[in-house]
Structure 1
Amino acid sequence: MSRKGLMLALWGLVALAILAFAALKVIQPMLNRTLADELGRGDYELQMTDGGTFTEDSLKGAYTAVFFGFTHCPEVCPTTLGDIATWQEDLGEDKQLRVYFVTVDPERDDVDTLRDYVSWAPGVTGVSGSRDEIDEAIKAFRVYARQVELEDGDYTMDHSASVLLFDQKGRFFEPIGYQEDYDRVIDKIRRMQAS
């Protein structure tokens, strides 16, 4: 083999080694990421009714539930808050969830409005912000929200109705469906808290 051929072969091996390294360290982890790793991750910064700031880091450090809704909601949101209050009571003080109620209607739901709306539900903190920041959060949590015009010129919001559970590391665990069977819900929460 000529010297030129040997050099080309060596450079080819170096290139293959670099590609193999890149595949193991960069490409493979990207392919192995799941919804649980991605949900809630994003560049949003919202205001909470307790004076804090809601970011993806807010999901860490405690078992957490996140629900997207709005204060003018006729049925789903008040029903879900009632369900959450029941779960919290039955879980007991030492096992209660940290719950965030994130508005999908920031034009009507400022922090003060949300504070009043969630005040009766134990462990629930309201979250609001600018339309752009709310849209970033909607995208990060992969929920659905859309304004629906009403005949009288007013509007309502169509939105996802699931409560999203996150473990202490801020990793998505499971959703809770709207009015899901109580025993199944408590089982999900306890399984998350046991993991």
Structure 2
Amino acid sequence: MAAVRTVLIVLIAILGAAFAWLAFEWSRSDTALAENPYGVAFQLVDQTGAPITEAAFQDKPTALFFGFTHCPEVCPTTLFEMDGWLQAVDPDGDRINAYFVTVDPERDTHDILGQYISNVTKRVVGITGEPEKVRAMAKGFNVYFKRVPIDQESGDDDYTMDHFASIFLLGDGGRFKSTIAYGENSDIAIKKLENLIEG
């Protein structure tokens, strides 16, 4: 009986230590996420063909969305909604930046991306670049994306992209603050952007 009790005490101590270690690691990860710029360094181009890096996300609050120009619904809807939200919270356009990063750089050249975005809004800047660099950047921001053939039996190259559809909200210094989900209530989305601007 004493041996069983000793074994139980040792097991409880081991489990307690394991939980304490996990709690420490989780808190350390949350601290790193809150204190460091979110994502990775990158060198891409904006919709005018000008170079752009992660520094663009760090000079003021930023709304960041990943999508593609052949997107049938999610991307144009999100761009349209973002334009309205940005007009509501920052009518002069000097307090928050907004970016649309393509997950389909093979088709989305900077000029195509620029034309696509400018048809909907002038408040969002498109980002593209060399495919491998765009993919590395998206993965570094933990963005899911996958090329999906439209008709696998046809043998042609027609495809769409399955991708993460939420908007990242980055605060001071590019630090992660929150997200706006696709289809989120507009009042809530506007409140999140107001909170982002206010810091």
2:129 aligns with 129
Task: Supply the AA of the counterpart residue of 1:103.
Answer: T
Taking structure 1 as the reference length, the TM-score comes to 0.78
2:197 counterpart of 1:182: no
Contact 1:39–1:141 (Cα < 8 Å) also in 2? no
Alpha-carbon distance in structure 1 between the residues aligned to 2:100 and 2:186: 20
Match of 1:166 among 170, 175, 178: 170
Taking structure 2 as the reference length, the TM-score comes to 0.77
Alpha-carbon distance in structure 2 between the residues aligned to 1:39 and 1:72: 30
Q: Secondary structure at the match of 2:55?
A: helix
Deviates more, 1:92-101 or 1:175-184: 92-101
Alpha-carbon distance in structure 2 between the residues aligned to 1:99 and 1:85: 9
Deviation, 1:32, is 6.0
Alpha-carbon distance in structure 1 between the residues aligned to 2:129 and 2:187: 35
1:35 aligns with 33
Structure having the higher Rg: 1
Task: Supply the AA of the counterpart residue of 2:96.
Answer: L
1:115 aligns with 114
Q: Secondary structure at the match of 2:69?
A: coil
Deviation, 1:101, is 0.5
Residues 193 and 134 (structure 1), Cα distance of their counterparts in 2 relative to 1, 3 Å cut? same
2:10 aligns with none
1:13 aligns with none
Contact 1:60–1:170 (Cα < 8 Å) also in 2? yes
2:86 aligns with 88
Q: Secondary structure at the match of 1:106?
A: coil
Match of 2:77 among 67, 76, 79: 79
Contact 1:39–1:142 (Cα < 8 Å) also in 2? no
1:62 aligns with 60
Residues 32 and 77 (structure 1), Cα distance of their counterparts in 2 relative to 1, 3 Å cut? closer
Contact 1:111–1:128 (Cα < 8 Å) also in 2? yes
Task: Supply the AA of the counterpart residue of 1:190.
Answer: E
1:52 aligns with 50
Q: Deviations over 1:62-90 (max 9, x none)?
A: 11111000000000000000101111221
Contact 2:60–2:95 (Cα < 8 Å) also in 1? no
Alpha-carbon distance in structure 2 between the residues aligned to 1:193 and 1:79: 23
Task: Supply the AA of the counterpart residue of 2:194.
Answer: R
2:159 aligns with 155
Task: Give identity over the alignment, percent.
Answer: 38
2:17 aligns with none
